Structure 1
């Protein structure tokens, strides 16, 4: 009888022990499973605790593709000048933080030269800012005289533009790109090298890296430069040439360590292809896209080809962490 009672108590003890083991091991696992399920359950705001944790550790780039664009005048101060500029953006841009492209026109032009590119890029969801360089042409709305203009005064213009725009609430300051045509490509290179930490990427199109050699072929020393010299149909001052003679643009390129896109027409009679090829070697990380048969000014189909290359480059850079 005693033996049967002992066995009965032993059986009860084992059942209790099994229950304790279940509580210690199985219940926490089930609770953890419930916690995970809770974290991945979408809340009424459309996000989850798990998703919030993921997005807080990974910065996502926002684009705002839109066929409806707005164009707004936006002037920027540089010394005593008001730089005339225009923001081309997808409608509703004010409520977002979007990547920014700053477009720089070439010698003797105005921002209208870049209009087609500005509109195409804005429709893809980017903010685009274009402007008239001070003294950049006889028609510049930013004032100044071509007699006082040089790539270095234009560098000061672009510096002022960059400093102002990167502070705007709707600009994604981590994703600012510079893009320039001809002389504007040279100026964009100077600013990218000077402010590399602020620039996500650089695009040059038929960039006039030849202008340094042009100056050296024209004048052997600063003393040889007249007060006024007619160059490519425009009267320029001594200031335009004097600092080009001993400047090494290829050494400057080495300071920009991020990916660079160089677009160059193979039949450019102002900027020979060899200058773009040398730039590709000078930039630490560069890719040269040659537009077959293109001269200095691209026709519509050639411009479309350049845009395809630019869009692919921008997407690649936006996906990059550096």
Structure 2
């Protein structure tokens, strides 16, 4: 692991593969540390010829955390953190891959720092541009779960934290993929063990967007691969279709029967799609 430090901020990073290979920067979704980019996925990407870097967003993992309820950053700051990571690794340009909230940040990076981007991959990412207000969002069951959770007393111990996360996973990752509950339980324990202030992750839900990049994605010039599960109940598949329709360089890859997840059963399909899209990038 490598800590990237700048302006009183520490970002925890980890790399896989050969530095001379094309760089691929992975940005995870809300309230999740980099361990959710599982080792197997990162190693498969490295074996395919990418130099892979994953990192903890602020308020997750071993990166800088703030008091719960008081994020001292905007989403623009989170997007710019990615460039600090590239600078620390002395990488001029990279493919940026973001999942869910990480996909939102990736859209912003593609416009805020176009000169640093070789391509983007948007996995289970939300559409915010023209017409977004007319799109469906999370299912009633997902919304009801989070409304109920907000009224409950927060878990007091690690086991209860994990069990709450398992309950959430059963709601938000509904799909035709088999439920490997023990894998998810293990990842949750690892996430907590990896975190310096696990309760701070809630700050992602209240940080603000202050710029206009998310409404200007039609201006993205970098090659864009859109990957979206057809059974996603958190960010419905139509968001992937709209991203594909709006970004001029986009190609949409549907993952039939997948939900809001990065399931090991889909690793090879996703990685091969990425390789086909970006294999000619130096």
Alpha-carbon shift at residue 199 of structure 1 (Å): 1.2
Alignment of 1:113 with 2:48, yes or no, is: no
Higher relative contact order (CA 8 A, sep 6+): 2
TM-score, length of structure 1 as denominator length: 0.60
**1:193-249 deviation digits (Å, cap 9, x = unpaired):** 1111221111111113469869xx9xxxxxxxxxxx9599864488524x37x8562
TM-score, length of structure 2 as denominator length: 0.67
Match of 1:262 in 2: 226
Structure 2 SS opposite 1:109: coil
Name the CA shift for 1:184/1:293 in 2 (closer, same or farther; >3 Å).
same
Would you say the 8 A contact 1:250–1:282 is kept in 2? no
Paired with 1:77 and 1:208, the residues of 2 have a C-alpha distance of 30
Match of 1:291 in 2: 255
* Gap runs ≥5 in structure 1: 1-72, 218-228
Structure 2 SS opposite 1:200: strand
**Structure number, greater radius of gyration:** 1
Runs ≥4 in structure 1, deviation > 3 angstroms?
208-214, 229-239
Paired with 2:250 and 2:104, the residues of 1 have a C-alpha distance of 15
Would you say the 8 A contact 1:103–1:129 is kept in 2? yes
Paired with 2:205 and 2:264, the residues of 1 have a C-alpha distance of 36
* Gap runs ≥5 in structure 2: 138-148, 152-164, 169-200
Match of 2:191 in 1: none
* Bigger Cα displacement from structure 2, 193-202 vs 283-292: 193-202
Would you say the 8 A contact 1:151–1:186 is kept in 2? no
Q: How many residues align?
A: 216
Would you say the 8 A contact 1:78–1:157 is kept in 2? no
Paired with 1:124 and 1:292, the residues of 2 have a C-alpha distance of 23
Alignment of 1:203 with 2:86, yes or no, is: no
Match of 2:25 in 1: 102
Paired with 1:238 and 1:127, the residues of 2 have a C-alpha distance of 31
Alignment of 1:131 with 2:55, yes or no, is: yes
**1:62-86 deviation digits (Å, cap 9, x = unpaired):** xxxxxxxxxxx12112320111100
